[in-house]
Amino acid sequence: MARINGGEMLVRALEREDVHEIFTLHGGHLDAIFKACRDHNFRIIDTRHEQAAAHMADGWARTTGRPGVAMVTAGPGVTDAVTGVANAYLDSIPMVLIGGRSPLLDDELLPLQGGIDQVALMRPITKWARSVVHTARIPEYVAMAFRQAVSGRPGPVFLELPIDVLFARADEESVVFPQNYRPRSPAGPSRDALAQALRWIDEAERPAILAGGGVWFAQAGKELTEFAELTHVPVLTNAKARGSISEEHPLCFGAFGAIHPAAHARRGGKSADLVILLGTRIGLATGGRNSVIPGDARVIQVDIEPEEIGRGRSIELGIVADCGEFLRQAIAAARNTKFNRHEAWIEQLTAIRAGQRRKWDEAMKAEQPIHPARMAREVAQALDADAIVAADGGETAAWMANAFKARYPGSFLSHGYLGCLGIGLPFALAAKVAHPQRQVVCVIGDGSVGLNFAEFDTAVRHNLPVMVVVNNDMQWGMSKHGQVLAWGAGNAIATELGVVRYDRAAQGFGAHAEFVERASEIAPALRRAINSGRPSCVNIMTDPDVIEPGTLAMYSAFSSKPGKTAPSENKSDETMLPYYGKRRID
């Protein structure tokens, strides 16, 4: 009777989940898995830092809609992966982190890379965290891990494998590989709730759908587009859902901020009177003190997770359902209804969108210094229609988000609730692994690029020809601009970086390199980078004094005369907190 070890069991279980790619950094605790991966023709993408491996598993899920898998060694391997897992947790991204562990038999003996309760470390930032203590049960735990990662609200999970459990063997015939451990159909809305939602859409003058990750992970982009067309309801998306409805579609109006009441008030109009939160959590832009949702609007929230309904604000109609199933049933129920075309509302949104796109036209004509909006527009124009963009950096990501049109789901990868810098290169590399025939570009700030810069080596070694465009304004842009707005020019603290030749550093890893100082040089440099067929770094020097509108909005509550009133000197009962606005702190 054949005997197989835990590594072989694990890889066979992963194959049953249609996993054939692993993001990792080597550690001897994992060698039984690596050997089995080679035997089963898995693709192993080994990184230069475990944080990058975790980010790549996260990025894989964002661009494919399926869980990514990262493996890290015991001790520092697990602790290095924490940031990547936390980022996925706050954004509800399905990923599986497999961690090595010191031998069970050496517990309390201070073994190498032991002495840390890794499961306890991961529990607050995962949906599910477990340690396997019986070799033959490894396939069962893998099945549990994937079920947890994708069931209900998605999220990361952690599976720990002690080295003595992993290397041990068991009779092949005694190992059970679970089957049929997921529901065959998704949860749908109640008939009454669905009917009420459609009535309110019919009654509304200015409805809007705010679509989030729940739409993307339900693979419901086609249904979202059909429902919008049927009901004539404009659609706005967050970063995870971008492209679920093509941003060239006349009913797609970009990010959630398009319905901000202030934007419409400036034009003498009113904002939305009905908002449908479709698979997007309440927070940041949709809840709390800085919501884009008008206070007098009716709100319908559709979410697979009941605990998300009404988080941070009142909800007039909460519907617990899979977003795809909600849309399918809503389409079927609405086919015989003739809905208001909302022409005036759509015209109002169209005017705001057009104004936003033309906002920087004059500034972008300057040859030097290069306006960051010019940098972003040149990149967007250089790309194929199905290109994938990973945008990283406080202001850089915002410039690129405004310039790029996502035509397909999973084609724009960027920041979420953690506000985690350093995701750009790993996200882009994961996207290239998942979509080798598509263009992939990482547009990144010169601050962010330093966090996982060594992954240029990963790109070169694994022949992943991503183009990395560095928006080099010689500073931590959002941070320095915030200090200038708060305290005036000349008061920057720990936010200046100076001129750094990131192109030369990337070239040292084997990448194609370009250095750009004039606006007219951008397009030729991008073409050369794309045509090189290699990983590339295009280092573009941009104007350090241009402040992205989002930064201006965050710091607008400071004194209108920079340098006159610092937060600590505010004479009112409120204190201005960077990123969060005015707060009363007693």
Q: What is the mean pLDDT of the chain?
A: 93
Q: Are 410 and 432 in contact (CB under 8 A)?
A: no
Q: Is the pLDDT of residue 244 over 70?
A: yes
The reported pLDDT for the residue numbered 284 is: 78
The reported pLDDT for the residue numbered 461 is: 98
The reported pLDDT for the residue numbered 420 is: 96
Residues 6+ apart with CB under 8 A from 110: none
pLDDT in tens, 152-171: 999 999 999 999 999 999 99
185 lies in some domain = no
Select from 149, 174, 199 the last residue of a domain. Answer: 174
The reported pLDDT for the residue numbered 586 is: 61
Q: Is the pLDDT of residue 67 over 90?
A: yes
Active-site residue 437, yes or no? no
The reported pLDDT for the residue numbered 572 is: 57
CATH number of residue 54's parent domain? 3.40.50.970
568 lies in some domain = yes
The C-alpha angle 268, 270, 276, rounded to 5 degrees, equals 155
The reported pLDDT for the residue numbered 566 is: 42
* Residue, of 133 and 574, whose pLDDT is higher: 133
The verdict on 24 and 103 lying in the same domain is yes
The reported pLDDT for the residue numbered 561 is: 43
455 lies in some domain = yes
The reported pLDDT for the residue numbered 115 is: 86
CATH number of residue 234's parent domain? 3.40.50.1220
Q: Which of 59, 65, 99, 113 is catalytic?
A: 113
Active-site residue 371, yes or no? no
The verdict on 377 and 326 lying in the same domain is no
In Å, how far are 169, 314, 339, 437, 555 from 127, measured between CA atoms?
29, 26, 41, 33, 35
- Total domains present in the chain: 4
228 lies in some domain = yes
The reported pLDDT for the residue numbered 310 is: 92
The verdict on 196 and 108 lying in the same domain is no
Q: Which of 8, 17, 21, 50 is catalytic?
A: 50
The reported pLDDT for the residue numbered 558 is: 52
10 lies in some domain = yes
pLDDT in tens, 325-367: 999 999 999 998 889 899 999 999 999 888 887 888 888 889 9
Q: Which of 7, 8, 21, 29 is catalytic?
A: 29
pLDDT tier at 250, thresholds 50, 70, 90: very high
What mean pLDDT is predicted for residues 471-479? 96
Lowest pLDDT segment from 143-147, 237-241, 337-341, 581-585? 581-585
Q: Which of 28, 355, 419, 510 is catalytic?
A: 419
The verdict on 515 and 423 lying in the same domain is yes
Active-site residue 113, yes or no? yes
Q: Which domain holds residue 566?
A: 556-584
The reported pLDDT for the residue numbered 563 is: 36
Residues in the chain, overall count: 586
What mean pLDDT is predicted for residues 41-45? 97
Q: Is 526 exposed, middle or buried (0-12, 13-18, 19+ CB in 10 A)?
A: buried
The verdict on 343 and 470 lying in the same domain is no
pLDDT in tens, 552-564: 887 865 544 433 3
The reported pLDDT for the residue numbered 364 is: 87
The verdict on 254 and 122 lying in the same domain is no
489 lies in some domain = yes
pLDDT in tens, 412-435: 999 999 999 999 999 999 999 999
Alpha helices in 168-212 (DSSP H): 191-203
The verdict on 437 and 517 lying in the same domain is yes
Cα atoms in the Cβ-side hemisphere of radius 13 Å centred on 375: 35
Q: Are 205 and 343 in contact (CB under 8 A)?
A: no
The verdict on 327 and 400 lying in the same domain is no
The reported pLDDT for the residue numbered 391 is: 98
The verdict on 263 and 412 lying in the same domain is no
What mean pLDDT is predicted for residues 106-123? 91
The reported pLDDT for the residue numbered 245 is: 97
258 lies in some domain = yes
User: Residue 234, SS3?
Assistant: coil
The verdict on 82 and 168 lying in the same domain is yes
The verdict on 511 and 388 lying in the same domain is yes
The reported pLDDT for the residue numbered 291 is: 87
The reported pLDDT for the residue numbered 93 is: 98
Angle between helix 522-531 and 372-382 (nearest 10): 40
Select from 120, 140, 174 the last residue of a domain. Answer: 174
53 lies in some domain = yes
The verdict on 363 and 491 lying in the same domain is yes
Percentage above 70 pLDDT, the chain:
95
Whether the model clears a pTM of 0.75, i.e. scores above it, the answer is yes
